């Protein structure tokens, strides 16, 4: 008799707890939904379907937990399921808020050259500084790459320009200098000078350095890169075979910086830098990497990245990727030139090595960018030629 009374008492306490818990659960669900709407990372149809499913399941769970007419076993199952969902809501809210905090930290609130990144093609200037540690405003730009992105054709063209390439400093009366030195005068000088060289508008920039690449590759568990040559790097003496190599952060950095092992020097280095970036993009866009290492990636690169994408534009790209899940086609282009020694703006009267411009190479790179940005114009031009 006493045992039955204790059992009945414990059931009453359990039912009282589930009633309180059902209210706490609803509060957490409401908070989670508000966070999802506020952060706005998911496509509208995903949000709608998710809200309907969670709302339906949560309504049933609330009824089972709040009202005492249901059996103990049923309420226990409902409690366990609500605990699992509660943990998922909490984790999802933390991830969304951390991502928002990350974007606010590394990006800009306004960009006068912004475009509708999911509707129109755009150019991103990738500037790799020759430093480690936190990103600074000035420093030589040793990696110089234009990423031309067409969100409609899902094509990315990476155009590399050698660090020693001859360039005119637009904001310094067109004085001649090496491209790498433009970074000493700030990213705006680099961008205006490259825009002048290529005859394009650069809408965005991303500044990275040695630490960015190392941290990023480490955070995603390494990358696979196909090397054109077998060589031992000058930096840290890593050995790479011709063909596929698995690289950790240190190895990827040494591979991307190497030029002394090659006859083509900086030209081959720019090709290898493209290979590393392509490998990182391929790894990061795989579903398992982002899902399992998302938090680690954000934490690893937050102090080593600067860009003028706004959080709104990044979120738009994320929503597009989730909604369409496109397979991006990555193409490569490399500008070349001629060896020469000249005086430059930064060297004064001293002659230094400069890669003199090759007009044919620059024009070929311009044509490739145009084809990616305006593929329909190329098709119409080809059609007109055939008709004539």
Write out pLDDT tens, residues 163-186.
999 999 998 899 999 999 999 898
With tokens 């866009």, the residue in question is: 285
Per the model's pLDDT, the better-predicted residue between 88 and 284 turns out to be 88
Q: Which of the given ranges, 248-257, 277-286, 290-299, has the highest pLDDT on average?
A: 248-257
What is the pLDDT, as a whole number, of residue 325? 80
Q: How many CB atoms lie within 10 A of CB 82?
A: 24
What is the pLDDT, as a whole number, of residue 135? 82
What is the pLDDT, as a whole number, of residue 381? 53
With tokens 């984790």, the residue in question is: 91
Q: How crowded is the C-beta side of 62, counted as CA atoms within 13 Å?
A: 13
Would the pLDDT of 384 be above 70? no
Burial 349-372 (b: 16+ CB within 10 A, else e): eeebebbebbeebbeebbebbebb
Per the model's pLDDT, the better-predicted residue between 270 and 295 turns out to be 270
- Considering only 26-40, 258-272, 278-292, 295-309, which range has the smallest mean pLDDT? 278-292
Q: Which of the given ranges, 83-87, 113-117, 262-266, 300-304, has the highest pLDDT on average?
A: 83-87
Mean pLDDT, rounded, for 43-70 = 92
Q: What pTM was estimated for this model as a whole? A: 0.83
How many residues does this entry show for the chain? 388
The tens digit of pLDDT for each residue in 335-383 reads 999 999 999 999 888 999 999 999 999 999 999 999 999 998 755 555 5
What is the pLDDT, as a whole number, of residue 105? 86
Q: What are phi and psi of 358, to 5 degrees?
A: -105, 105
Q: What are phi and psi of 22, to 5 degrees?
A: -60, -35
- Considering only 76-90, 102-116, 235-249, which range has the smallest mean pLDDT? 102-116
Q: Token pair for residue 113?
A: 């050259």
Per the model's pLDDT, the better-predicted residue between 135 and 196 turns out to be 196
Give the Cα separation of 203 and 236 in Å (integer). Answer: 36
Would the pLDDT of 207 be above 80? yes
Q: What are the boundaries of each domain within the chain? A: 2-106, 122-387
Among the four given CATH numbers 3.40.630.190, 1.10.3720.10, 3.30.200.20, 3.40.50.620, the one describing domain 122-387: 3.40.630.190
Q: Percent of the chain at pLDDT above 70?
A: 93
**Residue whose C-alpha is closest to residue 307's, from 225, 169, 203:** 203
Q: Is residue 295 very low, low, confident or very high in pLDDT (cuts 50, 70, 90)?
A: confident
- The one-character DSSP state at 165 is B
Would the pLDDT of 111 be above 90? no
Mean pLDDT, rounded, for 255-274 = 91
What is the pLDDT, as a whole number, of residue 386? 53
Q: Token pair for residue 245?
A: 């190599």
């Amino acid at each position: 008799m006493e045992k039955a009374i204790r059992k009945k008492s414990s059931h009453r306490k359990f039912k009282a707890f589930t009633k309180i818990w059902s209210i706490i659960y609803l509060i957490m669900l409401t908070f989670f939904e508000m966070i999802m709407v506020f952060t706005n990372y998911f496509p509208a149809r995903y949000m709608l379907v998710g809200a309907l499913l969670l709302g339906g399941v949560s309504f049933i769970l609330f009824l089972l937990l709040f009202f005492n007419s249901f059996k103990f076993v049923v309420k226990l199952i409902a409690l366990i399921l609500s605990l699992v969902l509660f943990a998922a809501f909490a984790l999802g809210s933390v991830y969304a808020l951390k991502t928002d905090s990350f974007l606010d930290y590394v990006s800009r609130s306004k960009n006068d050259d912004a475009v509708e990144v999911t509707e129109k093609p755009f150019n991103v200037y990738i500037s790799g500084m020759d430093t480690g540690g936190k990103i600074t405003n000035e420093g030589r730009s040793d990696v110089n790459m234009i990423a031309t992105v067409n969100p409609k054709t899902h094509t990315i063209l990476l155009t590399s320009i050698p660090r020693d390439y001859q360039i005119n400093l637009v904001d310094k009366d067109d004085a001649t200098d090496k491209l790498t030195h433009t970074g000493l005068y700030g990213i705006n000088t680099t961008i205006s000078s490259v825009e002048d060289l290529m005859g394009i508008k650069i809408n965005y920039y991303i500044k990275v350095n040695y630490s960015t690449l190392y941290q990023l590759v480490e955070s995603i568990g390494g990358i696979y890169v196909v090397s054109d040559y077998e060589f031992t790097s000058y930096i840290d003496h890593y050995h790479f075979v011709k063909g596929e190599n698995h690289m950790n952060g240190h190895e990827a950095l040494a591979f991307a910086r190497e030029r002394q092992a090659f006859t083509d020097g900086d030209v081959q280095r720019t090709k290898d830098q493209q290979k590393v970036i392509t490998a990182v993009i391929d790894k990061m866009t795989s579903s398992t990497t982002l899902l399992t290492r998302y938090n680690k990636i954000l934490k690893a690169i937050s102090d080593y990245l600067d860009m003028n994408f706004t959080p709104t534009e990044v979120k738009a790209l994320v929503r597009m990727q989730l909604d369409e899940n496109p397979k991006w086609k990555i193409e490569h282009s490399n500008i070349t030139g001629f060896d020469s020694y000249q005086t430059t703006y930064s060297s004064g009267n001293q002659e230094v090595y400069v890669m003199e411009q090759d007009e044919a190479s620059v024009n070929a790179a311009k044509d490739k960018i145009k084809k990616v940005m305006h593929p329909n114009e190329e098709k119409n031009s080809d059609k007109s030629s055939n008709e004539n």
